[in-house]
Amino acid sequence: MADAVELEVAGRTVRLSSPGKVFFPERGFTKLDLARYYIAVGPGILRALRNRPTTLERYPEGVTGENFFQKRAPKNMPDWIPTAHITFPSGRSADEMCPTEVGAVVWAAQFGTLTFHPWPVRRDDVDRPDELRLDLDPQPGTDYADAVRAAHELRSVLHDYGDLRGWPKTSGGRGLHVFVPIAPHWTFTQVRRAAIAAARELERRMPDQVTTAWWKEERGEKIFIDYNQTARDRTIASAYSVRPRPHAPVSAPLTWDEVGSALPRDFDLATMPVRYVERGDVHADMDDHAYSLEALLELAARDEHDHGLGDLPYPPEYPKMPGEPKRVQPSRAKKG
């Protein structure tokens, strides 16, 4: 294999050094395979990333090597890739890359980016999310089948509160994600509040299968609805992103009819391009919709007024938020 190759990506020439470097030893996939994969699903991943501040999950030596998350735009990033200035919960800020063409995705793959983590905002308004993202995370003792059951009930919850429509996808692991496109009218705090309301309603409907408990010691063998994935600077792997596991799985967009019949291992760096040729991007119409969160926010207000269900804990690195309960592990609080 040559020391470098040049790839033509929708009119953009992207140089790929060390194309034969093996990134996934178990499957033998190389850096060139990774780049070609992102070209093959280019319109789909660009739909998921377009104009979004994006954190890069990089594995420069492949999936078995060291990794890091790169939030700040690399200094060597070409000037044809735009950025957005975003602010972290700490008050610090940075410029993050915002892909606007498939060439930007391939350029990032050149530097070992396996997974792309876009913010739920666009670069023209970085403080008001345009997606409500719900993460169904299987806890020990549960599996993907449990997440599927929860996802189908979540679909009903979304319909009942605002006639919302969710677009499901595999996480690339054992879980499922459901994204709801929303009008960019609400703050991160309000969107998180809506996510908590949806999660609590799902928990009420499936008390033995679903939990909103932030502390792992309280979750049990249930599906955790990770509401904090809607907090500022928390991101979820994009659709079509390759995940850093030995068999090179990808986060696969699904139709609701496929939720339950398709399995996460069905979708990887080799099989997804074939599916894309056959089906295209099954989430291609997401950007044609922008739903309202009013019904979920009204549910949140009723939960607080009628049942005393206010805010839930934020992640540990966040500053203390107004109305947040004590951020202390329950077992330690009891000892205190």
pLDDT digit string, tens, across residues 270-282:
999 999 999 999 9
pLDDT at 258 over 80: yes
Residue pair 303/309 in contact (Cβ under 8 Å)? The answer is yes
Mean pLDDT across the chain: 96
Q: Which residues contact 214 (CB under 8 A, 6 or more apart)?
A: 228, 312, 313
pTM value is: 0.96
Express each pLDDT in 224-253 by its tens digit: 999 999 999 999 999 999 999 999 999 999
Question: Closest Cα partner for 48 from 253, 274, 223, 257?
Answer: 253
pLDDT at 1 over 70: no
Express each pLDDT in 127-145 by its tens digit: 999 999 999 999 999 999 9
Question: Closest Cα partner for 52 from 79, 83, 12, 78?
Answer: 83
pLDDT at 328: 85
Express each pLDDT in 47-104 by its tens digit: 999 999 999 999 999 999 999 999 999 999 999 999 999 999 999 999 999 999 999 9
Q: What is the mean pLDDT of residues 283-294?
A: 98
**DSSP assignments along 291-315, one per residue:** B--HHHHHHHHHHHHHH-----PPP
Task: Give the percent of the chain with pLDDT over 90.
Answer: 93
Largest distance between two CA atoms of the chain: 67
| Confidence label for 335 from pLDDT (cuts 50, 70 and 90) | low
pLDDT at 336 over 60: no
List beta partners, residue 4. 17
Least-confidence region, from 2-6, 67-71, 189-193, 202-206? 2-6
pLDDT at 107 over 80: yes
Q: What is the mean pLDDT of residues 262-267?
A: 96
| Confidence label for 201 from pLDDT (cuts 50, 70 and 90) | very high
Q: What is the mean pLDDT of residues 157-162?
A: 98
Q: What is the mean pLDDT of residues 21-25?
A: 97
Name the helix (H) or strand (E) containing 282.
none
pLDDT at 333: 76
pLDDT at 2 over 70: no
Half-sphere exposure of 278 (CA within 13 A, CB side): 5
SS3 call for 32:
helix
**DSSP assignments along 150-176, one per residue:** HHHHHHHHHHHTTS---EEEE-SSS-E
pLDDT at 331 over 90: no
Q: What is the mean pLDDT of residues 107-133?
A: 98
